[in-house]
Structure 1
Amino acid sequence: MRWKRMYSKAALTTFSLAAIMATFFFFFMGSIDIRPRFSSFFQPDPSEPPACLPLRVYMYDLPPKFNVGMLGSRSSGETPVTAETLPPWSTKAGLRKQHSVEYWMMAYMLYEGEEREKMEMEAIRVSDPEIADVFFVPFFSSLSLSTHGRNMSDPKTEDDKQLQVDTLKFLRESKYWQRSQGRDHVIPMHHPNAFRFLRDQINASILIVSDFGRYEKNVSNLRKDVVAPYVHVVDSYTNDDTRDPFESRKTLLFFRGRTVRKGEGSVRAELQKILVEGMRSSKFCLDPAGDTPSSCRLFDAIVSHCVPVIVSDKVELPYEDELDYARFSIFFSDKEAVRPGYMVEQLRKFPKDKWVDMWKMLKNISHHYEFQYPPKGGDAVDMIWREVRHKLPAAKLAVHRTKRLKIPDWWGDRRR
């Protein structure tokens, strides 16, 4: 029993000591703030904005020839475009509109209306590059491609190449590009062939792309780049308020587009017999791969509240870290889609209540695919800047590692 008495005595002593220490801290240390002694642990990095604040974007002042000058704008010379001189997007631009993301991103940054302060926007333009989180390069590379000769044998192609050379020269002379090697720079390249001559020299930047079908992995990938939606070419369905949308849409499946395409689009020819017209009068809208894994039809379907039927094995989708496309889209593999009768049979058996849920979801999320001016919180460009914010930690990690590495990046070599 002796050990029990010793244990009890030790426990009592320990308890008494703890009580004395607690009393001491209560009376003598209660008014002392110890946080300054450990400020590095309690204080956030002042260069890192809280997540609730907008992303701070510095937009380079490029002359109009790099952007709106290709729209036939009256802006000329070296004077950068402003909110007052920004020309409207041409209604005669045709299919160029699909890849006009670069224009709307620039317009978003130029907008200075009083309403902007009242809107909760994901990004704001700053005039001081020293406080910027990212740097936006307003070179309209997609428009340059379609304006200056899309065929490599076209002599006008040299104009596109020269603009790329001049853009890269401008960036390399910027100390902010040099500081990060372009990793915190945002460059729109939405057309699959945009910036085709020198894209390997901007492969560290955050690229705004439509998909990865024509990029080498060392140039563009999902880890660092942002997949942006196409600009839809059909009008949005704003008064879709029918009581029974399932029954009012008489057509089962609709397809809008050509059936003869290059590359992965060849699957369309085999689907031609089952295609019918009318997005707004159809329950489902077919979205097979285009010349690359993505196509504009998906976004036309979304703003028409027509449940997309996506047939593309390698497609990557915008905002997918936040939106679950399975809640408002149906997916078939390429092999499933060309099996005679299989896809139509599955769509005919699709439950009405589940379709209605998808239709409601489409109505709720379609505003995320609207490109507009003035911009609005939660619209397509606002969501793109939100995605850029998500890519920023990886970019900063790369910048910080590069600053302290004394040898070539061994981790990159290891991953090859």
Structure 2
Amino acid sequence: MASTSTVTTLTIFFFFFFIELTVSQQISTVDSECTGRWIHIRRLPSRFNLDLLSTCNHYPLTDDLCPYLANHGLGPKTHTRTRSWYRTDPLLLELIFHRRILEYPCLTPDPNLASAVYLPYYAGIDSLRYLYGSDVNSSADHGSDLLSFLTQDSPEIWSRRSGHDHFLVMARPAWDFSQPLTVDPPIWGTSFLERPEFFNLTALTLESRFWPWQEQAVPYPTSFHPHSLPFLESWIRRVRRSRRTSLMLFAGGGGTSSTLNIRRSIRLECTNVTETEPETSSEKIKTCDFVDCSNGICEHDPIRFMRPMLQSSFCLQPPGDTPTRKATFDGIIAGCIPVFFEDQTAKMQYGWHLPEEEFSEFSVTIAKEDVVFRGVRIADVLMSIPKEEVARMRERVIEMMPRVMYRRHGASMGLMNKKDAVDIAIDGVLQKISSRG
């Protein structure tokens, strides 16, 4: 009997084959709405995408990804009756994006008409064999096979603009693909983004570096994937009416060592929680709530942290192993005002989805040096913000929600009229490519 993961992979394979065959048979007619917006999906051999899903449980140092292939990468539902909440693994953003771009209204089978060429290569999933598998010592080879295909199969598509009009999704931080080619033996990561041949393409990553032109960070996928406008509006009503019984929340791990850092300071402050008396109510407000997400226990279980986020006014978003974190977007979905401690956590990352010039309208920034070394209490800073300002900021967070969520594929037309994270990423790619002339 075939395993569940094999059946899931085959289902996904036949779906993509049917859809891409249908797309390839369409006759493109240039109209005003698609002028300058045509995208060609490059037909890649399945070894670059769908075949990689069959090894979803081959890497013992990572979670078994097989259960999360369900629903075209959204993962299994959190409970049987939900139509919006899934146990989504961020590493499967490549699969999610691939499924969603098939619904893009301006697809063309003719690369000569296209303003951009999408490569449905699951780079993050493929990198696992270099990061954890038997190929870990050949990480400089990551991308060699793809480059050979692009330069040998219909090479005119790649060569006409030297890759400037190509883009792909890489569902890991860019640092994981940025090992220098000269490092031997390899330390960590692959060298995909260090290959000069790929310097011109656009890579949508979960976290970018700040100097390479080709990288742009896109939001981590949360567990919220509504399929219709009423479901989104119902959730927004719940967020608005939620009683915020905690001033601030930290959902995460770390901070237990004696080393001075922002996570340690947050945990120490939250350990000595107090209750504050609001001016207009006899109800006491908890100063700090803490959800311990150590050892990845929250990663596929949004129920652990979404309710506390709904009950908190502010969500603390300190950097961890890397500057960015998925919890930033979980908090926005819950209407919880993000509190950042350095600009690299989000302000310098997600300019397409969280415009830098609007940051102060929906978030608070407290320098981590002030907290760690100068004794500034986070709670004191947040309590000093007037309640009218807090209400205004929360409303701005709610307005940002559609921009950072990944709606479910096959969504209703009403919801499709609201641009989500994929729509905004595509707009950004097209503008980025256009700016290169």
* TM-score (ref. length: structure 1): 0.66
What is residue 285 of structure 1 aligned with on the other side?
315
The alignment status of 1:166 with 2:161, answered yes or no, reads no
CA shift at 1:189, angstroms? 2.4
Q: 1:66–1:163: 8 Å Cα contact kept in structure 2? A: no
Q: 2:74–2:88: 8 Å Cα contact kept in structure 1? A: no
| Aligned pair partner of 1:354 in 380, 389, 400 | 389
CA shift at 1:72, angstroms? 3.1
1:29-65 CA distance string (max 9 Å, x none): xxxxxxxxxxxxxxxxxxx996874621111111222
What is residue 98 of structure 2 aligned with on the other side?
106
CA–CA separation in structure 2 for the residues paired with 1:158 and 1:265: 35
CA–CA separation in structure 2 for the residues paired with 1:311 and 1:188: 27
CA–CA separation in structure 1 for the residues paired with 2:260 and 2:410: 35
What is residue 65 of structure 2 aligned with on the other side?
none
CA–CA separation in structure 1 for the residues paired with 2:240 and 2:142: 53
| Aligned pair partner of 1:373 in 409, 425, 430 | 409
What is residue 192 of structure 2 aligned with on the other side?
198
CA shift at 1:364, angstroms? 2.0
1:74-120 CA distance string (max 9 Å, x none): 9xxxxxxxxxxx96216279998224332222112223xxxxxxxxx
What is residue 398 of structure 2 aligned with on the other side?
363
CA–CA separation in structure 2 for the residues paired with 1:176 and 1:168: 12
Q: Structure 2 matches for 1:2-401, cutoff 5 A?
A: 53=35, 55-72=37-54, 88-89=72-73, 91=75, 97-111=89-103, 124-146=106-128, 148=129, 150-151=131-132, 154-157=133-136, 164-173=143-152, 174-192=155-173, 193-194=176-177, 196-201=190-195, 202-213=198-209, 217=211, 220-221=212-213, 224-233=214-223, 238-241=234-237, 248-260=243-255, 266-275=261-270, 276-277=289-290, 278-315=308-345, 316-318=348-350, 319=352, 320-321=354-355, 324-338=358-372, 339-371=374-406, 372-374=408-410, 376-377=416-417, 378-396=419-437
1:246-302 CA distance string (max 9 Å, x none): 8x211111111112599x995312221234231111100011113222111110111
CA–CA separation in structure 2 for the residues paired with 1:150 and 1:135: 28
CA–CA separation in structure 2 for the residues paired with 1:281 and 1:288: 19
Decide which structure has the larger Cα Rg and report it.
1
CA–CA separation in structure 2 for the residues paired with 1:160 and 1:365: 38
CA–CA separation in structure 1 for the residues paired with 2:134 and 2:356: 44
What is residue 181 of structure 2 aligned with on the other side?
none
CA–CA separation in structure 1 for the residues paired with 2:215 and 2:39: 17
Does the C-alpha gap of structure 1 residues 50 and 393 become closer, same or farther in structure 2, counting only changes over 3 Å?
farther
* TM-score (ref. length: structure 2): 0.64
Q: 1:184–1:395: 8 Å Cα contact kept in structure 2? A: no
Give secondary structure in 2 for the equivalent of 1:187.
Answer: strand
Q: 2:208–2:215: 8 Å Cα contact kept in structure 1? A: no
Q: 2:204–2:215: 8 Å Cα contact kept in structure 1? A: yes
Counterpart amino acid of 1:228?
Answer: V
Q: 1:259–1:266: 8 Å Cα contact kept in structure 2? A: no
Q: 1:135–1:184: 8 Å Cα contact kept in structure 2? A: yes
CA–CA separation in structure 1 for the residues paired with 2:135 and 2:260: 28
Counterpart amino acid of 2:131?
Answer: R
Does the C-alpha gap of structure 1 residues 322 and 257 become closer, same or farther in structure 2, counting only changes over 3 Å?
closer
1:378-416 CA distance string (max 9 Å, x none): 0110110011122123322xxxxxxxxxxxxxxxxxxxx
CA shift at 1:310, angstroms? 1.2
Does the C-alpha gap of structure 1 residues 186 and 177 become closer, same or farther in structure 2, counting only changes over 3 Å?
same
Q: 1:368–1:383: 8 Å Cα contact kept in structure 2? A: yes
Number of aligned residue pairs: 318
Q: 1:249–1:280: 8 Å Cα contact kept in structure 2? A: yes
What is residue 13 of structure 1 aligned with on the other side?
none
1:162-218 CA distance string (max 9 Å, x none): 6622111112232121121111111222412147223222111112123334x7x3x
Q: 2:142–2:192: 8 Å Cα contact kept in structure 1? A: no
Counterpart amino acid of 2:125?
Answer: L
Does the C-alpha gap of structure 1 residues 87 and 129 become closer, same or farther in structure 2, counting only changes over 3 Å?
farther
CA–CA separation in structure 2 for the residues paired with 1:55 and 1:235: 25
Q: 1:265–1:288: 8 Å Cα contact kept in structure 2? A: no
Does the C-alpha gap of structure 1 residues 325 and 95 become closer, same or farther in structure 2, counting only changes over 3 Å?
farther
Larger CA deviation: 179-188 vs 266-275:
266-275
Does the C-alpha gap of structure 1 residues 179 and 64 become closer, same or farther in structure 2, counting only changes over 3 Å?
same
**RMSD in angstroms over aligned alpha carbons?**
3.6
CA–CA separation in structure 2 for the residues paired with 1:281 and 1:345: 19
CA–CA separation in structure 2 for the residues paired with 1:158 and 1:66: 20
Give secondary structure in 2 for the equivalent of 1:293.
Answer: coil
